[in-house]
A and B are shown apart, each in its own frame.
Chain A
Amino acid sequence: MTYLAKPKLHHPSLSKNQAGYTRRDYEGKISTLCAGCGHDSISASIIQACWELDIQPHRVAKLSGIGCSSKTPDYFLGNSHGFNSVHGRMPSVLTGANLANRDLLYLGVSGDGDSASIGLGQFAHCMRRGVNMVYIVENNGVYGLTKGQFSATADKGSKSKRGVVNSDEPLDMIGMALLLGATYVARSFSGDKKQLVPLIKGAIEHKGAAFIDVVSPCIAFNNHAGSTKSYEYVRQHNEAVNRLDFIEDHEEITADYAPGETVTVHQHDGSALRLKKIASDYDATDRVKVMNYLQEHGARGEVITGLLYIDPDSEDLHEHINTVDTPLNQLGAKDLCPGTPALEKINASLR
């Protein structure tokens, strides 16, 4: 936590993107989270991704629930729309907003408590409906705001700060997202922006439910020996299956890792993602194989990261229910309420 606002002065070379903004223009208020919180790095990654994609800040809606993670939308995209919902209810509010105005970019930011405990049902339905959104879970395995109790995603056998061993099975959000039909599923680590920023960019460009589980160490309550969500543990056990390298029509992402085989995934809407393979036997487009792979490697204690699954032929909620192209909030009363003859026509068709 810092009392001073970040000085407005910036590096002399700071450049503007095609939307006419500098990266600093995508910042929000100064973070009030604990110093060193992984969530702040995720906020910085979102800022970077939005700047690189030339996104108009006023075309973004960021939604969140309750918790440390759900506070973060205040710390990025200060000129975007925001909604801080009831605990665990962000997915419903997001779904509603998306239905009313399909033109905005929806950014759901949640945590392991907000999404895996109180909001688990909401999370599940939002995924299975294929709402067009970026859903980021900032996953630290503890309830930071209430002093560090295990959350539902804490690994079995991991130790709390006070030495208590967790005896419950963890809730596997990646596994659930895959089962429930999410069409873009990724996991990353707050301490690896070179991996995380392209994944967020890919998710923003993706049409359909994009889910990113970001392991984000809690400095205050879950960064000790025996924790499986600490900076040290994740760094030692992080196994990336691939690197998202390139999104068509955008600048090449230059990163400092070894070259490998690249696969290009052509998506339904014409865009293409270039993935640099790290695990040679990994196929990110085969849902069943991905689930098996994750189970096998997860059992070995590996934290598998990267773009885990992508459905090139994804669809979203609006396609499922065949809504009009014009956002509902832009339709006039005449279109929304066509009158008695139209109603009678519908009723007749159902008789």
Chain B
Amino acid sequence: MKPTDISNPDYFHKVVDCQWACPAHTPVPEYIRLIAAGRYDDAYMVNWKSNVFPGILGRTCDRPCEPACRRGRVEEGNVEMRKPTAHEDGPKAEPVAICRLKRVAADNKDDVAARMPKAPKQKNGKRIACIGGGPASLTVARDLAPLGYDITIYESDPKAGGFMRSQVPRFRLPEAVIDEEVGYITGIGNITMRTGQRVDSLKKIIAEGYDAVFVGTGAPRGRDLDVPGRAEAVKNVHLGIDWLASVSFGHIDKIGKKVIVLGGGNTAMDCCRSAKRLGGEDVKVIVRSGYEEMKASPWEKEDAIEEGIPILNFMVPKSCTVKDGKLTGMTFEKVKAEYDAKGRRNLVPTGEPEQFVECDDVLVAIGQENAFPWIERDAGLEFDKWNMPVVDKITFQSTHPKVFFGGDAAFGPKNIIWAVAHGHEVAVSIDKMMNNEDLQDRPLPAVAVVSQKMGIHEWSYDNDVSASLRHKVPWQDQKLTLKNIKVEVELGFDAKAGLAEAQRCLNCDVQTVFAPRLCIECDACVDICPMDCITFTPNGEEADVRKRLTAPSLHADQDIYASEPLRMTGRIMAKDEDVCLHCGLCAERCPTGAWDMQKYLVQMTHAGPGCRKPQRKAA
């Protein structure tokens, strides 16, 4: 193996699994430590810088960080026999509740308005249009407005927020949180909101002479159901996302007693739980696939079941039955999954009789797609064979140099955190373009490496690893939540539970940095390491070294940190990063300081001077 190049910012970034998995690369352990220290304002601001909507994301994020979290791997084989306390989940190996900790910071902070950036008095003379007022557009605006750009946001709804406001139900995300966090952005200044104004022509916008146009219009078209009887049942079959938006804006406040929700994604989960609150007494989710293959996040499925909503699997809708102009039910075909030689799934009828399910209303949440009826095909943008605009994966620029895409509008439906990540990249692209720089030339993230050593056994982080299981988020009484759609279900962690959950974080950003020249191969680190991560062994190919580790390598995608050959024996130090607790005991037991715990803070490059080529100025 070649010695690991730890000067490459990506190497240690990857060790911070959560941050690596987060599309916006939020420095998760950094803000979790701040929460543990009770510094909620600071924790909030660390979040705000990276992901713009900590309060919103702390309730609704798709949390790609959590499946990646090292804690989940570390607890494997350790906690299954534990008896959980009343506040703990499990007993099973679970990641840190990163998402809900984000909310702890947002809920407990003081007024942070004064810490928000302000637009400079001197504008830079560049005008940017953002079409759509969702997370992607708002992120572009937040990144560019403080630099002196003049931003105009067009939003068809009466208030900005996009998906977060129109589709996420209020029992998951209260209006006040959206208002607050959208307010921080509009409060920067230099941002003109044109709400209630639907853009119907890109050409018109371009003609207004903007220096750049950002399209962040989401994936606004719900896929419809195409079965016999659908047309006759038009009054009682609703498109999920449109229905949710109508509920959000108060246009719809009731639904029939018997409701079928079609679809297995998160929108379906929001639909069924909303229906349950608007008068639906018998609400069912009916899905073509099996439970496991459903697209909804596991916790959203669990939350729906918790509220008494059954999920019926392997049922394909066949027809709607309408009597006297009113929907009476739907017929389904029973199917089963069969896998062909290539592992592809086919749903084949089981041959059982078709099943009729009574209902008054149907909510269709079987997918959504991008739609750009308002972009003229001669506006100067190329469209691909699926009739989608061609967008560069790195710069997010379309084939029209002034037009950029981001969020769901760029590459199809994803989620809020991806929209934010796109927004940051678009802002970088626009800022570089306005400074006549190459958009493809993206600077690496800024990295700060600082030893955490304070004394022989003292570190500037808490290295005592907590043994506690994941904490349960307390829920509001169902008697209240199921009656009123505006009552938030989750109460969030209180300060005490927040602290205890924060302590489960393993501080993966505090890296074990090895200095081979100082090592005397005394084995102290090997002996103390609770997870048997460290091995001293003759060098070889990586696959071969992996076979000779102190403890078997369980995940080949987790790196082996290899040193150069050591002075005395010529062996190498090979550390399996996989289940390291970052407890620092290797460094505490090292007699020569060959191991050190160093905080490796990776900050992504945002728009501003940092993303541009360094300009030398004479002293």
Contacts and interface: CB of A to CB of B under 8 A. Distances in A.
Interface of A: 1-4, 6-14, 24, 34-38, 40-41, 43-44, 190-191, 193, 217, 219, 223, 231-232, 235, 256
A35 B75 CA distance: 28
Contact of B531 (A1, A9, A36, A219): A9
A257 to B, nearest CB: 10
A217 B568 CA distance: 15
Contacts of A217: 522
A34 B467 CA distance: 27
Nearest to B567: A232
Contact of B522 (A7, A8, A14, A191): A191
B78 interface: yes
A267 B548 CA distance: 32
B552 interface: yes
A24 B522 CA distance: 20
B426 interface: no
Interface string B514-541: 0000001111101110111100011000
B532 A34 contact: no
A9 B467 CA distance: 8
Contacts of A36: 520, 522, 524, 589-592
Interface stretch (B18-26, B110-118, B557-565, B579-587): B579-587
Contacts of B526: 44
A11 B532 contact: yes
A6 B528 contact: yes
Contacts of B465: 7, 9
Given A7-B465, A11-B551, A2 B522 contact: no
A150 to B, nearest CB: 21
Interface residues of B, number: 41
B457 to A, nearest CB: 5
A35 B77 contact: no
B407 to A, nearest CB: 38
Contacts of A190: 522-523
Contacts of B253: none
A12 B77 contact: yes
Contacts of B532: 10-11, 14
Contacts of A235: 521, 568-569
Nearest to B527: A44
A41 B522 contact: yes
Interface string B475-512: 00000000000000000000000000000000000000
Closest 8 CB pairs of A and B: A36-B591, A12-B77, A12-B76, A44-B527, A11-B551, A7-B465, A36-B522, A35-B591
B5 interface: no
Contacts of B75: 9
Given A40-B524, A191-B522, A219-B591, A10 B585 contact: no
Interface string B266-308: 0000000000000000000000000000000000000000000
B463 A9 contact: no
A174 B76 CA distance: 46
Given A12-B78, A223-B520, 5 more contacts: A7-B581, A14-B551, A36-B524, A40-B523, A231-B568
Please indicate which of the listed interface residues A2, A3, A4, A12 has the most CB atoms of chain B within 10 Å of its own CB: A12
A13 B585 contact: no
B542 interface: no
20 contacts: A4-B457, A4-B464, A7-B465, A8-B78, A8-B467, A9-B75, A10-B530, A11-B533, A11-B551, A13-B552, A35-B589, A36-B589, A37-B522, A190-B522, A190-B523, A219-B522, A223-B520, A231-B521, A231-B568, A256-B537
Interface string B73-97: 1111110000000000000000000
Contact of A256 (B73, B538, B579, B590): B538
B293 to A, nearest CB: 26
A2 B589 contact: yes
B579 A12 contact: yes
Nearest to B523: A41
A12 B522 CA distance: 26
A332 B101 CA distance: 65
Interface string B303-323: 000000000000000000000
B155 interface: no
A8 B75 CA distance: 11
A256 B522 CA distance: 19
A12 B588 CA distance: 23
B379 interface: no
A232 to B, nearest CB: 6
A290 B73 CA distance: 52
B521 to A, nearest CB: 6
A7 B583 contact: yes
B259 to A, nearest CB: 43
B590 A10 contact: no
A38 B521 CA distance: 10
B528 A13 contact: no
A256 B585 CA distance: 28
B446 interface: no
